[in-house]
Amino acid sequence: MKLKSSAWYENSREAFLADDGEAVARQLALRAADESLEVDVDQSEEWRKSVRVLQSGLNAAIPILKSALRSPTCEAVRSVILEYDFRRRGLRMDCILLADGVVFVIEFKRTKVAAADRDQVMNYAVNLVEFHAETRKWCESRRGIVVPVVALTTGKTSANAQWPGLSGHSWSAIAGRPIECSADGLRATIETALAHRRTTEGLDLNSWLSSAFEPSSSILDAALSLYGNHDVVAIRDHAAPAQAIAAATEEIRRHIGDALADGERRIVFLSGAPGAGKTLVGLDLVLRGAHAAESTFVTGNAPLVEVLSTALEKSYRSQGASASAWKLAGYHRSDARFVAGAATHKIVKAHNFLNPKGAEHKNRDGRIVVFDEAQRTYEKGRRVMGAALEDHEADLVLAAQEKAFPTGGTVVVALVGHNQAINRGELGIAAWLDAAQRRGWTYSIADETLDLAELSDRSKPTHSHARKRLADGHLRQSMRYYRNTAQERWVDAVLNGDAKRAQSLAEELTRAGDTVYLTRSLADARAWARRSAAGAERAGVIASGQARRLAAVGLFVDLKPDISDWMLRPTTDIRASNSLEFVQNQYQVQGLELDYTIACWDADLRREDKNWAAYRLVGADWDRDNNLTVAKNGYRVVLTRARKGMTIFVPEGDATGTDVTRHPRFYDATADFLRECGARAFT
């Protein structure tokens, strides 16, 4: 089967001009619809709206582009690329024109050009020069240039097609600022850039589209400089588990070094409970040490990427106050807004790391891949990036590394959480062990990891000759609720229905000053959170992604507010978690932490006949959900986000009988059981 192109449309200039404009727009819309197959059902309406906007924009942009390229003065343009998907950077660019001596990056806007539009297209140009191997090498060795353009499809711009020059910022091959033009000025803009090119050598369309992702040495230096001084507020290194984290990091580094020295392909496993510090170990491996320059942090936890990237960008901007911080990387301080975003390239979303068929291009920064939340690897057939996975995701990752490094010497560090499967179709740690056995990889793993409940005797590996034993490969102690680890054990007892054990642990928590509170009033819960959080401490409201009847009390779990704003904005900002207005669900907060949480409990997980039962809201009523483990693990995430304190809010329900989805018995049984487990009312 032919792999999908990274562009939604590509052709020669002559073929593009010969193609019917409406047919081109339909082709792009079909690709957009195809890509939507990866979108969750709950996001489908949002996606359909974006497709309609895309079609509307294309219907206006294509005639403008055709009109400009018909001119004999634009014959130096050889290839037209529409909707180019630069996957490893998570960027999609409206239009790329490959011309003799010039790469044009064009963004079409409707009626006016804003500062954000100029930054957007400039950022695209920076990403091509910093990460797109064909573009960067062509600029360096052939003196090609990249010209960002913002073209209006309607209206007029006061700017003209005057050449901005190539100086004034950190990239000598990029025009000093984007050229802005109206619809009738695109031809003149192309002519102007062509008149100032430094070479007439062009780029081959197929080679350009299949180019490797290859960061420049300068951006690698900038990234390492940034990470050496980063201040990521979403993940903190607490004193209690620091020794275990340091020991695990050091041991894993030794195993990585041994594997590379011997030319081995190896998986190194690090396991631990929620909040044990696995992500912190992974980031430390990628951001510091001897192998940092050739390491990449890959995660299926998209919200974590957003929060980390935003926090690191803020850290980079703060470094901009010091001239020396920028001089080391070779960038001007004035370009901080572009360099900061580019320097976070070492933190990659999983679906941007693998293309639809799992064949990642060879790249300089991926010999060591740290795969966060590795237990969330998907099974064969799951739709990702618009296509069904042809194999289990673990196998695809290993296959991609084999292709990228055919002579060996590559390591995957799998960070594995247990009891954390929160999506259907997740295979857990067994998938990685099976893939290692099938593909002949060695693996390093601790005895405690092999004893995880998810690994039955049948799924434990039989090829022990390939195993290297880790002494510190399992993190036992949570750093999230760092004052008393009984919090994690209390949650486990509650979800296992062991009220007696939970009661004992709750008493232990109370003696330590960490009482788990229970309230039926959201207002009281908010008042508690506001009393508790002081200074820079963070509080927030979280709930299960299936808790859709919380809408009755003003909490909408499908709203999905921007997670980086929620985690990082100051208390005075209504978008911040501390405003206690917006709720985040378990998919958004897995891997993140707050000081104080209001954990909201809806009827999607309830007590029935002294057992837990799971439900999903289907239409106007609840329907029984047979996947109880996934439902319980979702609540496990919700109940383990707090560092210092938690209040559980259970609604009263609708006593009038009008709303059948909120019958009081759905909630009362849960509240009664939580009291039995030791959760206490406010005093």
pLDDT at residue 238 tops 60: no
- Does residue 111 belong to any structural domain of this protein? yes
Least confident of 213-222, 520-529, 634-643: 213-222
Mean pLDDT in residue range 319-342: 67
Mean pLDDT in residue range 311-326: 61
Best-predicted range by mean pLDDT among 213-222, 276-285, 504-513? 504-513
pLDDT digits (tens, 9 = 90+) for 271-291: 987 667 788 888 888 878 888
- Does residue 216 belong to any structural domain of this protein? no
Q: In what order do the strands lie in the sheet with 583-585?
A: 516-519, 642-649, 594-600, 539-543, 583-585
Does the reported pTM lie above 0.85? no
Confidence of residue 45 (pLDDT cuts 50, 70, 90): very low
Same domain, 165 and 23: yes
Same domain, 370 and 251: yes
pLDDT of residue 252: 96
Per-residue CA distances from 678 to 501, 515, 544, 612, 649 (Å): 10, 9, 22, 17, 14
- Cβ atoms of 218 and 293 closer than 8 Å: no
pLDDT at residue 460 tops 90: no
Same domain, 513 and 616: yes
Same domain, 508 and 584: yes
- Cβ atoms of 644 and 483 closer than 8 Å: yes
pLDDT digits (tens, 9 = 90+) for 438-459: 999 999 999 988 887 566 554 5
Among residues 209, 230, 257, the one where a domain terminates is: 209
Of all helices (H) and strands (E), which one includes residue 654?
A: none
pLDDT digits (tens, 9 = 90+) for 466-490: 899 999 999 876 655 544 567 888 9
Q: How far apart are CA 310 and CA 187, in angstroms?
A: 38
Q: How far apart are CA 121 and CA 105, in angstroms?
A: 7
Same domain, 375 and 452: yes
Among residues 427, 452, 475, the one where a domain terminates is: 475
Note down the domain range covering 545. 486-676
Same domain, 518 and 405: no
Give the number of residues written for the chain.
683
- Does residue 601 belong to any structural domain of this protein? yes
Q: How far apart are CA 673 and CA 652, in angstroms?
A: 15
Same domain, 88 and 111: yes
Find the angle CA(76)-CA(78)-CA(80) to the nearest 5 degrees: 125
Same domain, 633 and 601: yes
pLDDT at residue 368 tops 90: yes
Best-predicted range by mean pLDDT among 22-26, 549-553, 587-591, 642-646? 549-553
Find the angle CA(403)-CA(407)-CA(408) to the nearest 5 degrees: 85
Tokens linked to 672: 């009664």
Same domain, 538 and 432: no
Among residues 426, 456, 475, the one where a domain terminates is: 475
- Does residue 39 belong to any structural domain of this protein? yes
Same domain, 256 and 201: no
pLDDT at residue 549 tops 80: yes
What are the DSSP E strand ranges found in 132-255?
Answer: 145-152, 179-181
Q: How far apart are CA 494 and CA 677, in angstroms?
A: 7
- Does residue 613 belong to any structural domain of this protein? yes
Token pair 């009281």 is found at: 524
- Does residue 328 belong to any structural domain of this protein? no
> Which amino acid would we find at residue 446?
A
Same domain, 502 and 528: yes
pLDDT of residue 59: 66
- Does residue 518 belong to any structural domain of this protein? yes
Q: What is the DSSP letter of 469?
A: E
pLDDT digits (tens, 9 = 90+) for 102-153: 999 999 998 888 999 999 999 999 999 999 999 999 999 999 999 999 999 8
pLDDT digits (tens, 9 = 90+) for 175-195: 999 999 998 899 999 999 999
Q: How many domains does the chain have?
A: 3
pLDDT at residue 385 tops 80: no
pLDDT digits (tens, 9 = 90+) for 554-571: 999 998 888 889 988 888
Of all helices (H) and strands (E), which one includes residue 579?
A: none
Using a pLDDT cut of 90, give the percent of the chain over it.
49
- Does residue 230 belong to any structural domain of this protein? no
Confidence of residue 234 (pLDDT cuts 50, 70, 90): very low
- SS3 call for 674: helix
The CA radius of gyration of the chain, in Å to the nearest whole number, is 27
Handedness of CA 114, 116, 117, 118 (dihedral sign): positive
Same domain, 246 and 190: no
